Amino acid sequence: MVVLCCISLIDCINATMLNPYVDEFVSHLLNRRRGDPGISIWVSVMVGSYSLCEVLFSPMWGMLAERFGRRPILLLGLAGSAVAPVLFGLADSYATALAARLLDGFFCGNVCVARTYLGELVDAENEAWAFGLLGIVFSLGLFVGPILGGTLAHPAAWAPGWFESTIFEGHPFFLSNLIFACLVACVFLLGVVALKETRGPTEREESFLAAPETSQARWEPNSVERRGLWRLLTVSSILYGYVAARLNSFVLVSSLPRSMHGLDVSPHQFAYIQTFAALMLALNQVTIYPFLVKRCGAHTSCAIGLLWTIVLTLPVPLLFMTADVEQASAWRLVPVAIWQGLNQLGFGTAFPLLAVLLNKECTRRNRAVVNGWSNSLGALSRGLGPVLAGALMHLGCSLESGDLRLGRYLSFYVNLLPASVSHLRCGL
């Protein structure tokens, strides 16, 4: 269980560690000044390459886990995740850095195998608790990643006695990647000792040699099992896109300059808001989440979590309008931080339970494959959601006139459509 939690933490850190310095890193590689509008496309490609590989290769990792077992695939993914960040931190050109990031994304598909392993490791009574624990670890990674990436950049500047005239001066972003790689290597060694295979040789052979008619029988178009699986896969992927689009909408609206009657939230202030939200998420996993699951069951609790986020979206314009834009103090952001934290109560309930329901709906033979497709579709939605939210935000702002500035909230309300679909399908 410790190894699985570490894998979840590693994946979250890996995805978020790049955020604080990616703009500066790409500028450094391309010999351009930071903030140059011309590098935005290259920054987007660098950030999106990780999710792209997750989309393409997660199903492959699921199939390999069915054929060769969970343990070797998990260890292989950890080994790759230890090597790729080192190559990334040492990159001297954009092409090399992009190749290293693609390699990192290629190996990140073992997350779906970790969820499969967890579903087979715990019994039905403790499944909701176990996936809730992964949620706590994930929330920890949400703020450990940016802190690790941001504070350890340019070590020769803040600790010249140790790092000046070393490899870290010529590669100012290598230290955070090296420390992360060492962390992954430790988890790999722990996995070699502690991970046991949950799928026997006979099961692996049966999965590989299964007759076509047997496989077809399991996936008949009219079968209840297939309908249930597709419903959960749809809900899961839509929810991933919903959360990513919602976060992007929040960032875009909050960072609007004061000249546009925005809050002008700085990157450091965003970090504080997200840290508070992550703490609320962790608190939810040990208080409201277990109580709700025990009282209402997985399906109902998941639907309640989604409904909570929908209800909280309705007063968004009022929330931002009541925050005093002219006030210089950070206290003006307290209501916004509380709102963002309260949202985590819904997300922190819905996400783990969707993973639980998905594992329950699968047969033992196809569990890793289904989790692979779930991870792939989720990554695709996470990539598309923010792009659509940004386009809607731009459209909404262009429609604003006078003192009534409601167009900027268009993306929030359009985003309620997929949220409502997820809620309805989850409750069925």
Of 148, 168, 200, at which residue does a domain stop? 200
Identify the residue whose tokens are 């967890």: 118
Alpha carbons 162 and 165: distance in angstroms, whole number = 9
Is 219 among the domain residues?
Answer: no
Residues 234 and 178 in one domain: no
Are the C-beta atoms of 110 and 73 separated by less than 8 Å? yes
Taking only the tens place, the pLDDT of each residue in 318-365 is: 777 666 556 556 677 788 888 888 988 888 888 888 877 777 776 655
Burial string for 237-254 (b: 16+ CB within 10 Å, else e) reads bbbbbbbbbbbbbbbbbb
Alpha carbons 299 and 320: distance in angstroms, whole number = 33
Is 206 among the domain residues?
Answer: no
Stronger pLDDT, 377 or 428, i.e. the higher one: 377
Q: Is the pLDDT of residue 412 over 90?
A: no
Average pLDDT of span 291-297: 88
Q: Choose among 251, 280, 250, 271: nearest CA to 348.
A: 280
DSSP state of 415: T
Alpha carbons 102 and 57: distance in angstroms, whole number = 11
Is 218 among the domain residues?
Answer: no
Percent of the residues in the chain that have a pLDDT greater than 90, as a whole number: 11
Q: Kindly report the backbone phi and psi dihedral angles of residue 404, in degrees, each rounded to the nearest multiple of 5, phi listed first.
A: -85, 95
Percent of the residues in the chain that have a pLDDT greater than 70, as a whole number: 82
- Average per-residue pLDDT for the chain: 78
Are the C-beta atoms of 377 and 233 separated by less than 8 Å? yes
CB burial of residue 217 (10 Å; 0-12, 13-18, 19+): exposed
Taking only the tens place, the pLDDT of each residue in 374-399 is: 777 877 777 777 777 777 877 887 88
Residue type at 341?
A: G
Residues 112 and 188 in one domain: yes
Residues 196 and 228 in one domain: no
Q: Choose among 69, 102, 55, 68: nearest CA to 83.
A: 102
Alpha carbons 96 and 87: distance in angstroms, whole number = 8
Of 166, 200, 234, at which residue does a domain stop? 200
CB burial of residue 330 (10 Å; 0-12, 13-18, 19+): middle
Alpha carbons 91 and 288: distance in angstroms, whole number = 45
Is 397 among the domain residues?
Answer: yes
- Provide the token pair at 409: 């909230």
Top mean-pLDDT range of 109-123, 146-160, 166-180, 392-406:
166-180
Residues 196 and 255 in one domain: no
Is 208 among the domain residues?
Answer: no
* Domain enclosing residue 232, as ranges: 224-428
Taking only the tens place, the pLDDT of each residue in 32-51 is: 876 565 676 787 788 778 87
Alpha carbons 315 and 149: distance in angstroms, whole number = 34
Distances (CA, A) of 139 to 144, 236, 283, 341, 385: 9, 18, 10, 12, 20
Per-residue pLDDT, 116: 78
Considering its fold, how many domains does the chain have in total?
A: 2
Confidence at 89, pLDDT banded by 50, 70, 90: very high
Residues 182 and 262 in one domain: no
Alpha carbons 16 and 247: distance in angstroms, whole number = 14
Confidence at 177, pLDDT banded by 50, 70, 90: very high
Residue 98 CB neighbours (<10 A)? 18
Threshold 0.75, pTM exceeds: no
Taking only the tens place, the pLDDT of each residue in 200-229 is: 555 544 544 443 444 444 444 445 456 667
- What 3-state class would DSSP assign to 203? helix
Residues 192 and 234 in one domain: no
Q: Kindly report the backbone phi and psi dihedral angles of residue 165, in degrees, each rounded to the nearest multiple of 5, phi listed first.
A: 60, 30
Lowest mean pLDDT across 78-82, 135-139, 210-214:
210-214
Distances (CA, A) of 220 to 223, 362, 390: 5, 14, 40
Helix (H) or strand (E) holding 292: helix 288-296
Of 168, 200, 232, at which residue does a domain stop? 200
Residues 343 and 399 in one domain: yes
Is 217 among the domain residues?
Answer: no
Are the C-beta atoms of 408 and 393 separated by less than 8 Å? yes
Residues 428 and 346 in one domain: yes
Are the C-beta atoms of 320 and 263 separated by less than 8 Å? yes
Residues 87 and 158 in one domain: yes
Per-residue pLDDT, 18: 82
Q: Choose among 149, 137, 168: nearest CA to 14.
A: 149
Positive or negative, the Cα torsion across 184, 186, 192, 196? negative
Alpha carbons 53 and 107: distance in angstroms, whole number = 9
Are the C-beta atoms of 42 and 132 separated by less than 8 Å? no
Per-residue pLDDT, 402: 66
Alpha carbons 313 and 316: distance in angstroms, whole number = 5
Q: Kindly report the backbone phi and psi dihedral angles of residue 197, in degrees, each rounded to the nearest multiple of 5, phi listed first.
A: -75, 130
Q: Kindly report the backbone phi and psi dihedral angles of residue 401, in degrees, each rounded to the nearest multiple of 5, phi listed first.
A: -150, 145
Taking only the tens place, the pLDDT of each residue in 242-272 is: 877 777 777 777 777 766 767 777 766 776 7
Alpha carbons 345 and 287: distance in angstroms, whole number = 10
Residues 195 and 228 in one domain: no
Stronger pLDDT, 273 or 193, i.e. the higher one: 193
Confidence at 179, pLDDT banded by 50, 70, 90: very high
Is 212 among the domain residues?
Answer: no
Residues 274 and 419 in one domain: yes
Q: State the CATH number of the domain containing residue 28.
A: 1.20.1250.20
Alpha carbons 102 and 197: distance in angstroms, whole number = 28
